Structure 1
Amino acid sequence: MNSLSAIDDITAEYNIIVNMDLEWYDSRLTHPCGKEPVVLTLEPPQYTRIWTPQLGVPDVKEPGSVEFNAQNVVAFLLRTDGYILIRSRLQLTLFCELNFKNYPFDSQICSVSLQSRSSSDDNIVLQWRETHAFRNADRFQMIGYKMVGYNLLNDSVHLVDTFSDFNVSRVQVRLNLKREWTHFLMDVYLPSALFVSMSWLSFWLEISAAPARVTLGNTAMLTLVTNSMTTREKLPKVSYIHALDVWTAFCTCFVFASLIEFAVVSYIYHSSRNRRHHRKQSQQSLTSMTTLSSSSTSSMTSISKYLDVQEPDNNKIVVPKYIAGDCNRKFSRESGDSFRNHYRHQYHCFKSIFYIRNPQSLANSIDRKCRFLFPLCFLLFNIIYWLIV
């Protein structure tokens, strides 16, 4: 085998250039002349004067490309004991059944078969030579794949035509090819990992810098989607998920999760301002209600005091006024307590023990934790991914 071109992943085609030696004995050409047979080296076109088997390659794209002719026959030897050797140089375009489940770390098995086209295995039997049956040329070239081994098979296949069906002899070589995936590290894996890492920079920006954080996340998301679409264009539309799809999907999920995290912390960060706005509106409505009836002034004042909440401070605990009191107070029916008021009082005391933070501190705390949580999860995913593939 002289060369094997890269397999076209979309059409599943590849080109191969081989030198094929076809040997057989024909008793009709036996001419005894001494103890040792005499070897005659004839001109290649002279092969048309003898009988030659009709052979074919089943997976070839162009039928008839293995026919012997003056262009592909390069040597013709004839021995006086009936031995015949025809060497031909063939350039074939073959089909290969591909499986992309582990793409781009996949291994493919492509077969090159040679079988009789018109004679059954009772008349013609094809077999590999016992020694040096298959080998690569000294300057063997291969692009995109690396051949890690091969298997030689001799068998028979059932052939069905219009008039009859019979078994024909076949020889087959199965090439074990492994894709070279080093360039995928530079073209796909490293850029996508960098864009995922770029989305983590938003955790170090202020929550109030919404345009910068959103722009950073959207840029990483659009770049990953574009890179994924470009990679998918180089593959056929298959119904299953391959290894590169898993990597791209998880990278996209990490970037999308950073956007969701910003939406959550932004909502928490501005929640106190929204509450103050609603409280101001409620107090204004209560004030307007006092103008309707002077008799309800005292009741409205008590309600507004009941709803009054301390203004949040950056480092202080936010505790409503109505729950202020002794948290160690026990439940007593004589004091007029109810179960609902008692457990409500204990619940707010329990929250105050664990230092309820104001929304701004809580949002900033989530951002600080995500600075380490996201890289740790991505590192864990990489360990699992590269161990499996």
Structure 2
Amino acid sequence: MKPHCDVRILLVTGWICNIPGAWTSSNITMSTVLGDIFDGYDKKLSPKYDHAASDRQVVVTVNIFINSMFSVSEANMDYSMSMFLRERWVDERLRYVDDQNFTRLELDYSLFDQVWMPDMFILNEKFSNFHEVTIPNKMVHVYPDGTVQYSARVTGTFFCKMNLRKYPFDTQSCHFEVESYGHSTSTMKFVWSEDAVTIADSIEFPQFELIETQSYSCEKDYFGIVFPCIGVNIILKRNYAYYIIQIYIPSVLIVILSWVNFWLDPTSVPARISLGLLTVLTMTTQSAGARANLPRVSLLTSTWRRV
């Protein structure tokens, strides 16, 4: 006979009670499946550790969804964005028989540390962090064939080497690269999914227009060991309307104002000196303001060429 439906008894004994949200047979079966696939599972070993040397490579498919890009800094040569970093690979040790039509097992975050995961890191990262409000923003799904789907929300700032020779009429290519820290290409391979990068429709920049993204492979050779690496170029074209209105048009007007000197009486020395000095100081101030947001690079930009 089942005990009375007391919450304390339910937690201790696991009896099924006729109350909403009670423990069901499907839950018990899912718990059994989880117990079976993790029985003897060792996350310290890669999925193909026991395969032949020619068949130990784990293929990790990567995809990123850019949720927001909220800063592009020429002075620091970096950009900041928030994204969902997704990885998918096959771990045959996690296969299970789908008798209950689960489609997939959605693991609780307390089980994430029990699953082997690729040792991926972001190569051009300055600093970044995972989100943990209200719980860690991570997801792990396991499919019947052993496919593991991992997703994490990451926000960070990443280095971007910029060519400012044509600033502010420039187009910048900012890269994002991920690499394995400890696994060589003999045991791991990174590949982009069919849609390598997807971008939220709500992303807008006050100074840039996102043109396209270009995915590529960038395997690295360190001391004779080749490590898997993939990357994506984010092409940004600067909107120069602000600079036309705030810099170029005022500069043209100041130059035109300096021509008044040709109509002044040659004997009016104070007026001619004052007008010439005023235009020079104004142009110097404008040039300094235009360079305030730029790094100290030893090259001429278009804001200098206008003078």
TM-score of the pair, normalised by structure 2: 0.73
Structure 2 CA distance for aligned equivalents of residues 126 and 37 of structure 1: 29
SS in 2 for 1:140: coil
Cα offset for 1:80?
1.6
Indicate how the Cα distance of structure 1 residues 202 and 189 shifts in structure 2: closer, same or farther if over 3 A, else same: same
Bigger shift: 173-182 or 139-148? 139-148
AA aligned opposite 1:192: S
1:215 alignment counterpart = 274
SS in 1 for 2:199: coil
AA aligned opposite 1:95: F
Contact 2:109–2:136 (CA under 8 A) maintained in structure 1 = no
**Is the counterpart of residue 10 in structure 1 residue 59 in structure 2?**
no
2:119 alignment counterpart = 54
Structure 2 CA distance for aligned equivalents of residues 198 and 16 of structure 1: 44
Structure 2 CA distance for aligned equivalents of residues 28 and 11 of structure 1: 46
Structure 1 CA distance for aligned equivalents of residues 188 and 132 of structure 2: 17
Contact 1:6–1:143 (CA under 8 A) maintained in structure 2 = no
AA aligned opposite 2:161: E
Indicate how the Cα distance of structure 1 residues 201 and 72 shifts in structure 2: closer, same or farther if over 3 A, else same: farther
Contact 1:196–1:220 (CA under 8 A) maintained in structure 2 = yes
2:138 alignment counterpart = 74
Cα offset for 1:72?
5.0
AA aligned opposite 1:206: D
Contact 2:255–2:279 (CA under 8 A) maintained in structure 1 = yes
2:104 alignment counterpart = 39
Indicate how the Cα distance of structure 1 residues 173 and 67 shifts in structure 2: closer, same or farther if over 3 A, else same: farther
Contact 2:176–2:233 (CA under 8 A) maintained in structure 1 = yes
**134, 141, 162: which is aligned to 2:197?**
134
SS in 2 for 1:203: helix
Indicate how the Cα distance of structure 1 residues 237 and 202 shifts in structure 2: closer, same or farther if over 3 A, else same: same
1:181 alignment counterpart = 240
AA aligned opposite 2:281: L
Contact 1:55–1:66 (CA under 8 A) maintained in structure 2 = no
SS in 2 for 1:120: coil
Listed as ranges, the gaps of 5+ residues in structure 2 are 1-65
AA aligned opposite 1:180: N
**246, 249, 259: which is aligned to 1:190?**
249
**Is the counterpart of residue 145 in structure 1 residue 208 in structure 2?**
yes
**194, 203, 227: which is aligned to 1:168?**
227
1:104 alignment counterpart = 168
Indicate how the Cα distance of structure 1 residues 235 and 222 shifts in structure 2: closer, same or farther if over 3 A, else same: same
The superposition leaves residues 170-199 of structure 1 with CA deviations (integer Å, 9 ceiling, x where unpaired) of 121101111121111122111111110101
Contact 1:5–1:143 (CA under 8 A) maintained in structure 2 = no
Aligned residues: 242
Structure 1 CA distance for aligned equivalents of residues 238 and 155 of structure 2: 22
Structure 1 CA distance for aligned equivalents of residues 134 and 118 of structure 2: 16
Indicate how the Cα distance of structure 1 residues 139 and 44 shifts in structure 2: closer, same or farther if over 3 A, else same: farther
Cα offset for 1:39?
1.1
1:121 alignment counterpart = 185
SS in 1 for 2:189: coil
The superposition leaves residues 259-281 of structure 1 with CA deviations (integer Å, 9 ceiling, x where unpaired) of xxxxxxxxxxxxxxxxxxxxxxx
Contact 1:37–1:81 (CA under 8 A) maintained in structure 2 = no
Cα offset for 1:79?
1.0
Cα offset for 1:213?
2.0
- Structure showing the higher strand proportion among its residues: 2
The superposition leaves residues 228-282 of structure 1 with CA deviations (integer Å, 9 ceiling, x where unpaired) of 122223211211211111112xxxxxxxxxxxxxxxxxxxxxxxxxxxxxxxxxx
AA aligned opposite 1:112: F
Cα offset for 1:205?
2.2
SS in 1 for 2:113: helix
Indicate how the Cα distance of structure 1 residues 201 and 67 shifts in structure 2: closer, same or farther if over 3 A, else same: closer
Structure 1 CA distance for aligned equivalents of residues 133 and 97 of structure 2: 30
AA aligned opposite 1:40: L
Cα offset for 1:100?
0.9
Structure 1 CA distance for aligned equivalents of residues 143 and 103 of structure 2: 6
SS in 2 for 1:238: coil
Structure 2 CA distance for aligned equivalents of residues 198 and 33 of structure 1: 81
Identity of aligned residues (%): 25
Contact 1:68–1:88 (CA under 8 A) maintained in structure 2 = no
Name the Cα RMSD after superposition. 2.4
AA aligned opposite 1:99: N
Contact 2:78–2:157 (CA under 8 A) maintained in structure 1 = yes
Structure 1 CA distance for aligned equivalents of residues 100 and 218 of structure 2: 36
Listed as ranges, the gaps of 5+ residues in structure 1 are 249-389
1:286 alignment counterpart = none
Cα offset for 1:168?
1.2
2:219 alignment counterpart = 156
Structure index of larger Rg: 1
AA aligned opposite 1:100: L
Cα offset for 1:37?
7.5
**Greater relative CO, 1 or 2 (CA 8 Å, sep 6+):** 2
